[in-house]
């Protein structure tokens, strides 16, 4: 049996690219997300192109009971999870805090922070039982810096950074490696979600410079996942060459 990777938010963007990359290097995959059609399409593509085993699970990481019951009822051969990629996440809105939409805040906190915790809480005991495993959390430049209108999104990603460090300490005696990746701007559906479907605004985010692509982050995941057993990559901050900080982008 190949190694098994569990990916949250595999229906688009970074998660989807990571699924393809990990399949290419021989992982069997549990792909999850809310959009059933996307999951099914990706599953067929992975099987056809990479000849790996794929299990697709419709999963909303915000629903703790669903996370627990779906993971705890995985078929036995799928419980030996070697790699967890906590990727599901989103930004919603760019309002200053005094005008912030409570529902936007809750979606970000429930997904980026609580969802990551629910999934980790359920999968880490499976790894502990086997005394092996690796967890990679997708954080962000927004977990290192704060920018106007980023308030709650930045808070959730700063929290991901703190949780990553805490997980690394707690899981140390159990031979589980914990890493995070903090990307700058990556062209995915991210900005479309942040601007609530406004394609024009979303496009403007990536105008005048070459952003990162999901494939760049997948290569970073591959690098972390393929280090020798005695090496852990704690954290990688990866930026487009034309972006120096969350706020400084060199546009032509
Ligand atoms: P996309 O919008 O392209 O993909 C987001 C993924 O998260 C989708 O697969 C979506 O699946 C999933 N998702 C969202 N909400 C939930 C939920 N409640 N339950 C399960 N899955 C969910 O964005 P990216 O690929 O860019 O984002 C992936 C991660 O990368 C996020 O954590 C984001 O914060 C982070 N990031 C992104 C950057 C960027 O510039 N794009 C930069 C730095 C970090 P579905 O809708 O089907 O549930
Ligand atoms: C997403 C990138 O620049 O919106 O995490 O913080 S940014």
Ligand 2: which atom is nearest the Cα of residue 186?
2
* Of the candidates 7, 172, 168, the residue with the CA atom closest to the CA atom of residue 82: 7
Residue range 139-155: mean pLDDT, rounded: 98
* Of the candidates 68, 10, 55, 38, the residue with the CA atom closest to the CA atom of residue 221: 10
Closest listed ligand to the CA of 108 = 1
Rounded CA-CA distance 94/221 in Å is: 28
Tokens 């629910």: give the residue: 118
Nearest CA to ligand 1 atom 46: 34
Which pLDDT belongs to residue 197? 98
Mean pLDDT for the chain overall? 98
- Percentage above 90 pLDDT, the chain: 100
* Of the candidates 252, 142, 232, 118, the residue with the CA atom closest to the CA atom of residue 194: 142
Q: Which residues are catalytic?
A: 153
* Of the candidates 192, 194, 174, the residue with the CA atom closest to the CA atom of residue 123: 174
Tell me, in angstroms, the distance from the centre of ligand 1 to residue 11's CA: 9
Question: Which of 89, 119, 238, 242 should be mutated for ligand 1, with most atoms under 8 A from CB?
Answer: 89
Q: For residue 160, is pLDDT > 90?
A: yes
Tell me, in angstroms, the distance from the centre of ligand 2 to residue 70's CA: 30
Tell me, in angstroms, the distance from the centre of ligand 1 to residue 173's CA: 31
Tell me, in angstroms, the distance from the centre of ligand 2 to residue 82's CA: 28
Condensed to tens digits (0 to 9), the pLDDT of residues 193-246 reads 999 999 999 999 999 999 999 999 999 999 999 999 999 999 999 999 999 999
| Four-residue CA torsion sign, 125, 138, 111, 75 | negative
Q: For residue 29, is pLDDT > 80?
A: yes
Residue range 60-65: mean pLDDT, rounded: 98
Residues at CB less than 6 angstroms from ligand 2: 91, 140-142, 185, 246
* CB neighbours of residue 150 within 10 Å: 18
Condensed to tens digits (0 to 9), the pLDDT of residues 30-44 reads 999 999 999 999 999
Q: How many Å is the maximal CA-CA distance in the chain?
A: 54
Condensed to tens digits (0 to 9), the pLDDT of residues 91-127 reads 999 999 999 999 999 999 999 999 999 999 999 999 9
Rounded CA-CA distance 151/96 in Å is: 7
Rounded CA-CA distance 21/218 in Å is: 6
Question: Cβ(164)–Cβ(137) under 8 Å?
Answer: yes
- CATH homologous superfamily of domain 4-238? NAD(P)-binding Rossmann-like Domain (3.40.50.720)
Ligand 1: which atom is nearest the Cα of residue 192?
2
Q: For residue 1, is pLDDT > 80?
A: no
Strand (E) or helix (H) holding 125:
helix 116-130
Which pLDDT belongs to residue 193? 98
Burial readout 191-207 (b: 16 or more C-beta within 10 A, e: otherwise):
bbbbbeeeeeebeeebe
Ligand 2: which atom is nearest the Cα of residue 190?
1
Which pLDDT belongs to residue 21? 98
């Amino acid at each position: 049996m190949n190694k098994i990777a569990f990916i949250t938010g595999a229906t688009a963007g970074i998660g989807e690219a990571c699924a393809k990359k990990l399949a290419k290097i021989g992982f069997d995959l549990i792909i999850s997300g809310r959009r059933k059609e996307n999951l099914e399409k990706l599953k067929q593509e992975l099987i056809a192109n990479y000849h790996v085993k794929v299990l697709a699970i419709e999963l909303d990481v915000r629903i703790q009971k669903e996370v627990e019951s779906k993971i705890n009822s995985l078929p036995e051969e799928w419980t030996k999870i070697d790699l967890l990629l906590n990727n599901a996440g989103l930004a919603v809105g760019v309002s200053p805090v005094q005008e912030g939409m409570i529902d936007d805040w809750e979606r970000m906190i429930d997904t980026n922070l609580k969802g990551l915790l629910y999934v980790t809480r359920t999968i880490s005991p499976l790894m502990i039982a086997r005394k092996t495993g690796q967890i990679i959390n997708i954080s962000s430049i927004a977990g290192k810096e704060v920018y106007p209108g980023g308030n709650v999104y930045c808070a959730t990603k700063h929290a991901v950074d703190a949780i990553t460090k805490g997980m690394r300490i707690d899981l140390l005696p159990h031979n589980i490696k914990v890493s995070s990746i903090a990307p700058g701007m990556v062209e995915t559906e991210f900005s479309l979600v942040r601007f609530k479907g406004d394609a024009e605004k979303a496009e403007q985010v990536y105008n005048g410079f070459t952003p990162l692509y999901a494939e760049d982050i997948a290569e970073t995941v591959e690098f972390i996942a393929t280090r020798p057993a005695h090496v852990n990559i704690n954290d990688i901050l990866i930026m487009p060459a034309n972006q120096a900080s969350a706020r400084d982008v060199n546009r032509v």
